[in-house]
């Protein structure tokens, strides 16, 4: 017997065999039973979901010798002729090749003739969106008031191209894409009837690549059967469809988690050499990220994942090693790459760039929390302006006993032990000027880094060493980052005129101020420093923007 494609061989011949469109089947059956047949129907939806099949079923239901009936017998003369495409009263017209106004006028002329033997004359126009504007306009009057016993059924995959004047004259039915499970069940039925052995994982891959289209999935199944024969395994499906398996996806994402860029690029290279489609790999990775997100977010994730094709244990392990924000950033990078790959002449490069971005993702930081952190850190930059109790009489007695200059002298004498403070001696005189130059240059190169330096105490500043102490671990950690430390070393060597300056960064509490630092009469204490270094709201916002890499939108 001559081979017949599965999509034709297993085409539904009754409404009860139509899969996944129960809402449409119910409406059409009720319309037939209640004798409420419209003059025009419009079926829209993606390819391979049953639009043309439903049009033929409706034509059979209207013209069956036992009808009109919701369940045509499929054995009478009219049913057989419509099924085989031989009925002179049921005409299927391709809108793509008959899209001109001349064809529309010919159709209008033929509409006037009565049926040859059937009860209804049915015109099925497939891909109706391909008709020209003039052809649509020519049909308007006939579509609104057709002769008795004439029914138009339009089918389209691009609903947005149908004029409103046509829509208003039709009953519109939207066909849904089929689920993976619905496609899998039908493919399994076909394999059982054809005595084909196929494992559930392979069947899932075929159904998934059908992308909601039963016809596409059936065509892929025919292709896999032609390659593998009566026994189909996962390797055969992957080779025919040009996809990677679940194990390969797990290894691929492990490389991303471990930031192993060289291995990742080599894997992409090998995948290309094997002839596999990088677009499909990108799509599979997007679905894999979705599965990771489900495991990360949902407590009962097993109900939302396909147990046959997902390694729940591996997904759980990887989900625990990554932040949800990172998953979202990775998904955005891959989603953008998938669209760009379709338009680019270098799809592999687009895909590789997306993978590199995925290697560099970091969790988001809450901007409110960061601003609070900056506000908390900034007041600690100068020494505290609250004197210790033992030193409090000094500043209050000085203004009454001597002029301001004498007060400063007395204060300096009284605080002679101050050189023991780690911040005072190293920055005296020229050292202070050098330190100010270092901070200024750091601010020019990286403003936020200068904010951290402003909070530091200089323990040592010489041609050989720059030793700083920070008031809290967070500030010390930010300053100690490799890029910041390298920048500080470069600036210090330039300012000090030394070929090598060792950088030492410690974390120590802020030192207790001397009376001179807290003397309100001097005008140079920590109060004035605080006023000088305290950031404005705009500076705080700008610092937060630099930390987070964002933009101010309002």
Q: When comparing pLDDT for 235 and 374, which is higher?
A: 235
3-class state of residue 323 by DSSP: coil
Pairing of strands 197-198, 150-156: unpaired
pLDDT confidence of residue 351: 93
Pairing of strands 465-470, 457-461: antiparallel
What is the three-state SS of 417-481? CHHHCCCCCCCCCHHHHHHHHHHHHHHHHCHHHHHHHHCCEEEEECCCEEEEEECCHHHHHHHCC
Residue 156 phi, psi (nearest 5):
-150, 150
Q: Say if residue 28's pLDDT is above 80.
A: yes
pLDDT confidence of residue 302: 63
Instruction: Enumerate the H helices of 117-199 as residue ranges.
Output: 133-144, 164-167, 180-194
pLDDT, tens digit, 9 for 90 and up, residues 159-169: 999 999 999 99
Spatial distance between the Cα atoms of 154 and 508, rounded to a whole number of angstroms: 79
- The answer for 128, left when phi > 0, alpha when psi is -120 to 50, beta otherwise, is alpha
Give the mean model confidence (pLDDT) for residues 33-56.
92
pLDDT, tens digit, 9 for 90 and up, residues 111-158: 888 888 889 999 999 999 999 898 898 888 888 888 888 999 999 999
Q: Which residue's entry shows tokens 């409406």? A: 27
Domains of the chain by start residue, with CATH: 6-174 (3.40.50.300), 180-241 (1.10.8.60), 246-359 (1.20.272.10), 366-385+422-511+519-525+532-554 (3.30.300.180)
Q: Say if residue 390's pLDDT is above 80.
A: no
Contacts of 135 (CB under 8 A, 6+ apart): 99, 100, 101, 103, 104
**Cα distance between the two ends of the chain:** 72
Q: Say if residue 385's pLDDT is above 50.
A: no
Mean pLDDT of the residues in the chain: 80
Q: When comparing pLDDT for 235 and 221, which is higher?
A: 221
Report field, pTM of the whole predicted structure over 0.95? no
pLDDT confidence of residue 391: 41
pLDDT, tens digit, 9 for 90 and up, residues 419-438: 433 443 445 555 678 888 88
pLDDT, tens digit, 9 for 90 and up, residues 262-287: 999 999 999 888 888 888 889 889 98
Q: How far is CA 228 from the centre of its chain?
A: 36
pLDDT confidence of residue 510: 53
């Amino acid at each position: 017997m001559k081979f017949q494609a599965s999509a034709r061989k297993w085409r539904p011949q009754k409404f009860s065999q139509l899969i996944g469109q129960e809402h449409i089947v119910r409406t059409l059956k009720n319309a037939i039973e209640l004798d409420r047949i419209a003059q025009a129907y419009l079926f829209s939806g993606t390819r391979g979901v049953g639009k043309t099949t439903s049009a033929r079923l409706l034509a059979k239901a209207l013209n069956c010798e036992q009808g009109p009936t919701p369940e045509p017998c499929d054995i009478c003369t009219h049913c057989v002729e419509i099924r085989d495409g031989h009925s002179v009263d049921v005409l299927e017209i391709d809108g793509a090749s008959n899209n001109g106004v001349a064809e529309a006028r010919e159709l209008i002329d033929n509409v006037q003739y009565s049926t040859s033997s059937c009860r209804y004359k049915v015109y099925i126009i497939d891909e109706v969106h391909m008709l020209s504007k003039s052809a649509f306009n020519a049909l308007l009057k006939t579509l609104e008031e057709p002769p008795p016993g004439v029914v138009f059924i339009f089918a389209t995959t691009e609903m947005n191209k149908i004029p409103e004047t046509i829509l208003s004259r039709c009953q519109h039915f939207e066909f849904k894409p089929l689920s993976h499970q619905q496609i899998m069940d039908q493919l399994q039925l076909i394999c059982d009837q054809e005595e084909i052995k196929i494992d559930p994982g392979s069947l899932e891959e075929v159904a998934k690549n059908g992308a909601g289209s039963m016809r596409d999935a059936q065509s892929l199944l025919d292709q896999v059967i032609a390659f593998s024969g009566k026994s189909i395994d996962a390797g055969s499906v992957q080779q025919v469809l040009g996809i990677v398996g679940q194990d390969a996806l797990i290894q691929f994402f492990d490389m991303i988690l471990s930031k192993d860029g060289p291995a990742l690029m080599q894997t992409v290279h090998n995948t290309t050499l094997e002839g596999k489609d990088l677009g499909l790999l990108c799509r599979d990775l997007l679905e894999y990220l979705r599965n990771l997100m489900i495991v990360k977010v949902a407590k009962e994730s097993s109900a939302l994942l396909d147990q046959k094709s997902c390694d729940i244990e591996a997904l759980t392990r990887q989900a625990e090693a990554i932040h949800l924000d990172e998953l979202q950033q990775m998904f955005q990078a891959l989603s953008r790459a998938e669209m760009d790959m379709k338009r680019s002449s270098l799809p592999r490069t687009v895909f590789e760039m997306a993978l590199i971005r995925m290697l560099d993702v970091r969790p988001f930081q809450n901007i409110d929390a960061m601003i609070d952190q900056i506000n908390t850190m900034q007041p600690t930059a100068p020494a505290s302006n609250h004197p210790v109790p033992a030193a409090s009489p000094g500043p209050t007695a000085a203004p009454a006993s001597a002029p301001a200059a004498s007060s400063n002298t007395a204060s300096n004498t009284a605080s002679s032990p101050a050189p023991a403070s780690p911040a005072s001696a190293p920055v005296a005189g020229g050292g202070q000027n050098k330190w100010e130059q270092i901070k200024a240059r750091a601010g020019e190169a990286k403003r936020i880094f200068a904010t951290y330096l402003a909070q530091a105490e200089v323990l040592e500043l010489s041609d050989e060493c720059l030793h700083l102490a920070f008031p809290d671990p967070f500030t010390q950690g930010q300053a100690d980052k490799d890029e910041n430390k390298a920048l500080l070393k470069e600036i210090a060597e330039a300012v000090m005129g030394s070929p090598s300056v060792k950088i030492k960064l410690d974390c120590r509490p802020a030192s207790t101020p001397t009376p001179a630092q807290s003397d309100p009469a001097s005008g140079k204490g920590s109060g004035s420093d605080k006023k000088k270094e305290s950031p404005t709201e705009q500076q705080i916002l700008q610092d937060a923007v630099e930390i987070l890499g964002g933009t101010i939108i309002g």
